[in-house]
Amino acid sequence: MTDPVSARPEPASARPGPVSVWHRLADTAVLLDGFHALKHALRFGARVPVAVTADRRAALALAAELAPDVRDALDALLTEVPQATYASLVPRPHPTAVAALAVRPAREANLGALRRTPRTAPVVVLDDPRNLGNAGAVIRLAAGFGATGVVTTGTLDPWHPTVVRGGAGLHFATAVERLTVPELPPGPLFALDPEGEDIRGLKLPDDAVLAFGSERSGLSADLRARADHLLSLPMRPQVSSYNLATSVAMTLYHWSLTGGAPGTR
Ligand SMILES: C[S@@+](CC[C@H](N)C(=O)[O-])C[C@H]1O[C@@H](n2cnc3c(N)ncnc32)[C@H](O)[C@@H]1O
């Protein structure tokens, strides 16, 4: 940074410290809680204005061992702060004692990605999900399978800190937004429901919109009305349904068997 009066570099002591930057950004930024969330966010291009750790040496050793691709970025970003300062910035200290704030991607950019056609990988829709942990697990799955994005309908905020924690920083690897049913991205809509046609008889196209119902009440009437196909996952009689996130996992896996999912390495 440059001092505008003297045009000389500003002394480090005059720069805002990580804690004041943290407090300035905390209300609008995305909390990356722990080493792995920060690692994933950096890999997928998140802008990270501040990152702290209570043990810089341990964090960089972890990077050297598990994520050498982001070690230099972490070396440049991470500021060591006292344990008590770190603990005051996060809701609950993480075993890796690392935390960072990332800039949330612009909604317009995400909407552009969700609506772009032709699409090479499905969009996952969670219709009025209730459980924040399920939503995080689904975002992690979508990132792993290279899905175009995850859309939620209803009141749950897919960028809620608990969802971000469950997603392990992978919100930056796919487009995550909340929309209404009439606003859903284009593409054939396959809604998953235990009463549907067996998914095993069908190839899911790359431009599919894959919709899953709420944990409590299943698919909403609006979503059902919009669906082009109702599909079921194999399940023996007397079992009522699977968990939401495991249903998404099975469906994306089914798509990956014939669709354009990424390779394993
Ligand atoms: C926990 S279930 C919802 C159960 C809810 N009580 C109901 O009436 O459907 C959450 C969602 O997972 C999906 N799901 C669960 N089991 C399924 C199955 N066997 N076949 C297709 N979808 C399933 C559906 O999208 C369902 O709406």
pLDDT tens-place string over residues 8-56: 555 545 667 999 999 999 999 999 999 999 999 999 999 999 999 999 9
Alpha carbon nearest to ligand 1 atom 7, residue: 218
Domain final residue pick, 65, 85, 102: 102
For residue 240, how far is its CA from the centre of ligand 1 (angstroms)? 8
For residue 200 and ligand 1, the question of a CB distance below 6 A is answered with: no
- CA–centroid distance for 256 within its chain: 19
For residue 242 and ligand 1, the question of a CB distance below 6 A is answered with: yes
Alpha carbon nearest to ligand 1 atom 2, residue: 215
Q: How far is CA 209 from CA 24, 105, 191, 252, in A?
A: 38, 22, 8, 11
Alpha carbon nearest to ligand 1 atom 26, residue: 213
Examine residue 1 and state whether it is found in any structural domain, yes or no: no
Q: Looking at the CA of residue 239, tell me the nearest atom of ligand 1.
A: 19
For residue 248 and ligand 1, the question of a CB distance below 6 A is answered with: no
- Amino acid code (one letter) for 41: A
pLDDT of residue 99: 97
Domain final residue pick, 76, 102, 128: 102
- Helix (H) or strand (E) holding 195, with range, is strand 189-198
Q: Which domain holds residue 188?
A: 107-258
**Stated pTM of the model:** 0.92
Q: Are residue 191 and residue 132 in the same domain, yes or no?
A: yes
Q: Are residue 97 and residue 112 in the same domain, yes or no?
A: no
Q: Are residue 77 and residue 114 in the same domain, yes or no?
A: no
pLDDT of residue 260: 75
- Record the tokens describing residue 144, joined without a space: 């792993």
Q: Are residue 71 and residue 114 in the same domain, yes or no?
A: no
Alpha-carbon gap, residue 132 to 120, rounded angstroms? 27
- Helix (H) or strand (E) holding 125, with range, is strand 123-127
Residue with tokens 């699977």: 242
The preferred substitution site among 138, 193, 198, 222 for testing ligand 1, maximizing ligand atoms within 8 Å of CB, is 193
Q: Are residue 112 and residue 216 in the same domain, yes or no?
A: yes
- Record the tokens describing residue 97, joined without a space: 């004692």
Examine residue 90 and state whether it is found in any structural domain, yes or no: yes
Q: What is the pLDDT of residues 225-265, one digit of tens each?
A: 999 999 999 999 999 999 999 999 999 999 999 877 787 65
Count CA atoms within 13 Å of residue 10 on its CB side.
10
pLDDT of residue 265: 54
Beta bridge partners of 108: none
pLDDT band of residue 5 (cuts 50, 70, 90) is very low
Q: What is the pLDDT of residues 189-219, one digit of tens each?
A: 999 999 999 999 999 999 999 999 999 999 9
Q: Are residue 191 and residue 130 in the same domain, yes or no?
A: yes
Pick from 39, 45, 50: which is nearest to 17 by CA?
50
Alpha-carbon gap, residue 6 to 12, rounded angstroms? 15
Q: To the nearest whole number, what is the mean pLDDT of the chain?
A: 93
Examine residue 60 and state whether it is found in any structural domain, yes or no: yes
Q: Are residue 248 and residue 135 in the same domain, yes or no?
A: yes
Q: What is the CATH number of the domain that holds 192?
A: 3.40.1280.10
Please, what sign has the CA dihedral across residues 244, 246, 251, 256?
positive
Q: Are residue 69 and residue 113 in the same domain, yes or no?
A: no
Examine residue 5 and state whether it is found in any structural domain, yes or no: no
pLDDT of residue 263: 78
Q: Are residue 91 and residue 206 in the same domain, yes or no?
A: no
Q: How far is CA 254 from CA 179, 200, 201, 214, 233, in A?
A: 25, 8, 11, 21, 10
Domain final residue pick, 86, 102, 118: 102
Beta bridge partners of 52: 79, 99
Q: Are residue 78 and residue 151 in the same domain, yes or no?
A: no
10 Å CB burial of residue 39 (0-12, 13-18, 19+) is: buried
Q: What is the pLDDT of residues 74-104, one digit of tens each?
A: 999 999 999 999 999 999 999 999 999 999 9
For residue 193 and ligand 1, the question of a CB distance below 6 A is answered with: yes
Q: What is the pLDDT of residues 172-184, one digit of tens each?
A: 999 999 999 999 9
For residue 212 and ligand 1, the question of a CB distance below 6 A is answered with: yes
Q: What is the CATH number of the domain that holds 45?
A: 3.30.1330.30
97-116 residues labelled b (16+ CB within 10 A) or e (exposed): bbbbbbebbeeeebbebbbe
Q: What is the pLDDT of residues 60-74, one digit of tens each?
A: 999 999 999 999 999
- CA–centroid distance for 250 within its chain: 19
